[in-house]
Structure 1
Amino acid sequence: MKAIIIDGYVDEPACFGVPPYISPYIRYIAGAMREQGIPMQNIFYSAIDSIRLNPKVHENIIKEADLVVIIAGMTVPGKYLRSTPISLEELHILSRAATGKVVLGGPIRLGFSSEGGKKASSLSELENVYCCKADVEAFVYDLLTDGKLGNPENVTDRFRSVQEIGRWGKKGAFIVRQHPDYPDVMCELETYRGCGRRKHCSFCTEPFYGKPDHRPVSDVVVEVHSLYEEGARYFRIGRQPDLLSYQAVDRGGELPVPDPMAIESLYRGIRNVAPSLRVLHMDNANPATMAVFPKESEAILRTIVRYHTSGDVAAMGMESADPEVIRRNGLKVSPDEMFNAIELINGIGAKRGASGLPELLPGLNFVHGLIGETKETFRLNYDFLKKVLDSELLLRRINIRQVISFEGTPMFGNDDAVIRNKKTFLRYKEKVRKEIDLPMLRKVVPADTILRNVLLEIHDGNTTFGRQMGSYPLLIGIPTKQATGHYIDVTVIDHGFRSVTAIPYPLDANNAELELLQRVPGIGKALAAKIFRERPYNDAWELIARTGANSDILRYIEI
């Protein structure tokens, strides 16, 4: 028996699996396969990017596999630096290439859409593929018995239990070694699924996972330990709609009551079993939880900052600042409540940490095309962001997207505002980028900020782009071609709307390209040419003596 898991990448509000991330789906499926008798050496993993690079090599592996499991689905498509989620055409190609049984799962079961502002389409036209209608990891487990395949038509779609993924997460940890980015792979961790609100947002897909089913702290910690033993060093507690509500107690209110001690146990446990981890970040936080339970939320945020690594982001769904849109779509918070949540996080996390970024900052998500949206909605959203900017509060990320309507949600069939306000949306988005994002980024990472451990990833012309490993990493452009695949420290020298320009820190003046010397603050083209021409130097003071450079450049260079 041979099986291959093909990672078409997932992007959901509460789960991310685009490189360098690996989603829990992949690891759970691998663990389920192992538990049902397939040896580790017969379980293969391929990211869709790897298949694109070497299609013939992977075609042979796919043909030889008795079972092909494809994971895919985007409910909140974004822009990606170097990886592109699987397309419908590629799904067809892979299904036709397979000779064994093909199972498709992940959030794609809810429908397929490649961009915001479009309805999700069904997958009924896919041939020779069984599309799971619940949890693909449970389906794969039930399909296998003692390493033998059953008939997919005889398997009932179901959701997996927390006890099952407790076992499968541990047994599937080995698969991270096959990730193309290993060991620089971010492991997305799940604490629970399902939203605990009594009424859900009109567009939300989280209710399709059922009521919240929280994992025991010990299971999450054991999974981290298993991943750590396999060489993983980067973790994000991202697979839940609200980390502050992990292990929260339902006492009959609109929201469950947070349990600060559970978060303390989780973070302390992770730190104990992964002492040399390099990143420990979070993702989602519900601002409504902070509004209803401010004391508990403050305690949890302080715990996170005590145990995490800096550069962390608490992504919060505001969706809209328009009271009518909030009412008609069942949204979580008022503008005042969101502003208070932003203040709370800033008060605890705005201090700059070891990575060069603040410890913990809020990120905001806005969704357009919702029921009741008018042109006034755009003004209200902009005014709210301007208020945050003028209040000297920091935001690490402002995500603005158009809604995707999925069948089974109140938005389905009610998304006419997407088309009606398309031009307004594009103008508004550009205005936010210029007038909010740019000045905000200058506050979050001022010029001369040193950012540590930037992984250089791709080239675009003569520019090398890199990011720090983490939650919503900042895009960093270095204005020369640098070798990719390794880490460097950089100094920020300029800002774009959502990215920064930087130079290596410290810059080796004896070996740096002329283009980089020219970008050192205080040097300029003429002096850079002189420094370049008269190299080498025995030390920085000799450089200053021979070229007449100002001693201020010593903060940027070395010899």
Structure 2
Amino acid sequence: MKAIIIDGYVDEPACFGVPPYISPYIRYIAGALRERGLQETDISLFTIDELRKSPNGASEPIKKADIIIVVSGMTVPGKYLRSTPINQGEIESIFSASNGLKILGGPIRLGYSLEGGKKAESKLINATDVIICRKDIEAFVYDVLERKTTNPEECQHRFRSVEEIGRWASKGTFIIKQHPDYPNVMCELETYRGCGRNQHCSFCTEPSYGSSDYRPIIDVISEVEGLYEKGARYFRIGRQPDILSYHAKDKGGQIPEPDPEAILSLYKGIRNVAPQLKVLHMDNANPGTIATYPELCKEIFKTIVKYHTAGDVAALGMESADPIVVKANKLKAMPDEIFEAIKLINEVGRMRGNNGMPEILPGINLVHGLIGESKKTFDLNYEFLKHVIDSDLLLRRINIRQVMAFPNTLMYGNDELVRKHKQIFLKYKEKIRKNIDLPMLQKVVPTGTILRDIMCEINDGKMCFGRQMGSYPLLVGIPTNMPLGRFIDATVTRHGHRSITGVPYPLDINTATIPLIQEVPGIGKKQATDIKRKAPFTSKDDFIKRIGSEEILPYINI
């Protein structure tokens, strides 16, 4: 039997799988196939980008495959640098080319939309011979191969168990070698899923996975060990709604009590089996957990800083600074609690790490169009962010989006405010980008900061855009074309609203172009032209003698 997995990419609040990320879904499916007797050589992986670049290159394998599995779904669509998640037309095109068993799954089961502010459609595909997994696609694939049936009525839709994931995660590690970004692929790691709160945010899809199902610590560590042996060096503990609640203790309250020892065992164990890893980051942290258990959470963040890699981000689901909206949508924390969470993370993690970024900073998610939103909501959100920056606190990024309403959530059918407040939203968003994002970025990475290990990803005209591997990496624009896939260090020279401009560090002043030279701190176009005209220089002393400037010496190489 031959199986093909198509990675159409996923983007959920608690799981990311857009390149250079690879989601757990892909690896779990590969592991389930292996456990059903398929050999590694019988299982192929294609990303949707690969199919777009070579539409005919995979047509024959798809046609000959016995089973085609497409994984996709966006519940929080974003903007992506060089990859775009699969669309419905592409899904239908792939399945129409196949003569085998056709399976579609992932978070797309909850509904489909390409952008926020629009209701997710429940009708996914017109083809009648495609089986749409209504629960876990990896469990479905595992079961359907046992039953050997293509009749949807005979197929079981169920959630997988943590014991199954423990096996499939390790058996599926081999698939990362087939990812087009390998070995520079970021492995998203799952610790648990399902929200542990007694009530859920009005728009959240995490409750659709059931109650929290904590994976055993040893299983996560074993998975990392297997990935590391296959060449993985980049990891993010991102697939959970709240890292602070991993193996938390239910005390009968609204929020379970964190277990710092569990987090310590996890991080220490990962470092032991992957000693030369290059990135270890995290994602979601519930600000309500921090507000309820500040000392326990501070201990956890200290553990994270000890064992992680710098540039980490703790994404806080704030959603709104309007108390009326917080209550109406059963959100996680009030504005003053969010502010204290930001202070706590800054206290532990704002020192600069060895890659040029602060060790760990909070990120803020703001969602608009929620129940109870008014014009005052926009003012309250802006005032909150202004208070943060005026208090000399750092945020790595501020994510502002309009709600996407999914079936079986409180927001479904109650999203009329998205359209009503559209113009207010656009003006407010631009105001934040200009008055908050820009000065905040100047604080996070001041001019002259050296950022290490930036991967060059795309050339766009006369600019190259790259990012560090990590959680919510900062976009860096370099005013020249660069070899793609190459890692470089860069000096920060200018700031945009959500990105920075930089030049390679150290800059070879004898070969650099004028656009690069004039970007160096302290140099303008006129002096850059003079430097270029007088090059080459034999030494830094020669440079000082002929140019008369020492300001740029820390950033150049002669």
Is the TM-score greater than 0.5? yes
Aligned partner of 1:424: which letter? Answer: I
Alignment match, 1:509 = 509
- Is 2:545 the counterpart of 1:551? no
- Structure 1: distance between partners of 2:443 and 2:125: 50
Gaps of 5+ in 2: none
Alignment match, 1:43 = 43
**What's the CA shift string for 1:137-185, capped at 9, x where partnerless?**
0000001139x66655422100000000000000000000011110110
Alignment match, 1:16 = 16
- Structure 2: distance between partners of 1:529 and 1:255: 61
- Structure 1: distance between partners of 2:73 and 2:348: 35
Aligned pairs (5 A) from 1:186-335:
186-335=186-335
- Structure 1: distance between partners of 2:291 and 2:543: 57
Aligned Cα root-mean-square deviation (Å): 1.1
- Structure 2: distance between partners of 1:124 and 1:212: 28
Alignment match, 2:174 = 174
Aligned pairs (5 A) from 1:129-528:
129-145=130-146, 151-528=151-528
Q: How many residues align?
A: 557
- On the 8 A contact 2:364/2:397 being kept in 1, the answer is yes
- Structure 2: distance between partners of 1:53 and 1:235: 27
- On the 8 A contact 2:92/2:125 being kept in 1, the answer is no
- Structure 2: distance between partners of 1:525 and 1:320: 44
**What's the CA shift string for 1:98-140, capped at 9, x where partnerless?**
1111100000000001000000002354302111000000000
- Structure 1: distance between partners of 2:294 and 2:245: 13
Instruction: Give 1:531 deviation, angstroms.
Output: 2.1
- Structure 1: distance between partners of 2:152 and 2:330: 38
SS in 1 for 2:180: coil
**What's the CA shift string for 1:285-344, capped at 9, x where partnerless?**
000001111111111010000000000000010000111111111011010000000000
Residue 139 to residue 541, structure 1, CA distance change in 2 (3 Å): same
Alignment match, 2:532 = 532
- On the 8 A contact 2:88/2:124 being kept in 1, the answer is no
SS in 1 for 2:406: coil
Instruction: Give 1:521 deviation, angstroms.
Output: 2.1
Alignment match, 1:28 = 28
Paired-residue identity, %: 63
Instruction: Give 1:235 deviation, angstroms.
Output: 0.2
- On the 8 A contact 1:67/1:101 being kept in 2, the answer is yes
Aligned partner of 1:239: which letter? Answer: R
Alignment match, 2:67 = 67
- On the 8 A contact 2:405/2:415 being kept in 1, the answer is yes
- Structure 1: distance between partners of 2:295 and 2:482: 47
Q: Comparing 534-543 with 252-261, which one deviates more in the overlay?
A: 534-543
- Structure 1: distance between partners of 2:125 and 2:286: 38
**What's the CA shift string for 1:511-550, capped at 9, x where partnerless?**
111211122222322332232223222212112212x231
**What's the CA shift string for 1:13-44, capped at 9, x where partnerless?**
00000000000000000000000011100100
Aligned partner of 1:521: which letter? Answer: P
- Structure 1: distance between partners of 2:106 and 2:247: 25
Q: What is the TM-score of this pair, normalised by structure 2?
A: 0.99
Aligned partner of 1:181: which letter? Answer: D
- Structure 1: distance between partners of 2:461 and 2:428: 30
- On the 8 A contact 1:527/1:549 being kept in 2, the answer is no
Aligned partner of 1:119: which letter? Answer: K
- On the 8 A contact 2:149/2:155 being kept in 1, the answer is no
Moved over 4 A (4+): 148-152
- Structure 2: distance between partners of 1:271 and 1:99: 45
SS in 1 for 2:552: helix
- Structure 2: distance between partners of 1:259 and 1:58: 47
- On the 8 A contact 1:523/1:549 being kept in 2, the answer is no
- Structure 2: distance between partners of 1:26 and 1:83: 17
**What's the CA shift string for 1:494-520, capped at 9, x where partnerless?**
000000000000000111112111222
Gaps of 5+ in 1: none
Aligned partner of 1:106: which letter? Answer: G
**What's the CA shift string for 1:67-121, capped at 9, x where partnerless?**
0000000000000000000011111111111111110000000000100000000
Residue 486 to residue 124, structure 1, CA distance change in 2 (3 Å): closer
Aligned partner of 2:21: which letter? Answer: Y
- Structure 2: distance between partners of 1:549 and 1:161: 69
Aligned partner of 2:174: which letter? Answer: F
- Structure 1: distance between partners of 2:202 and 2:87: 27
- Structure 2: distance between partners of 1:327 and 1:370: 11
Q: Comparing 121-130 with 301-310, which one deviates more in the overlay?
A: 121-130
Aligned pairs (5 A) from 1:94-113:
94-113=94-113
- On the 8 A contact 2:357/2:451 being kept in 1, the answer is yes
- On the 8 A contact 1:437/1:497 being kept in 2, the answer is yes
- Structure 1: distance between partners of 2:144 and 2:109: 18
SS in 1 for 2:518: helix
- Structure 2: distance between partners of 1:545 and 1:64: 70
- On the 8 A contact 1:37/1:145 being kept in 2, the answer is no
Q: What is the TM-score of this pair, normalised by structure 1?
A: 0.98
- Structure 1: distance between partners of 2:305 and 2:161: 31
SS in 1 for 2:187: strand
- Structure 2: distance between partners of 1:447 and 1:250: 47
Q: Comparing 313-322 with 125-134, which one deviates more in the overlay?
A: 125-134
- Structure 2: distance between partners of 1:505 and 1:459: 19
- On the 8 A contact 2:122/2:407 being kept in 1, the answer is no
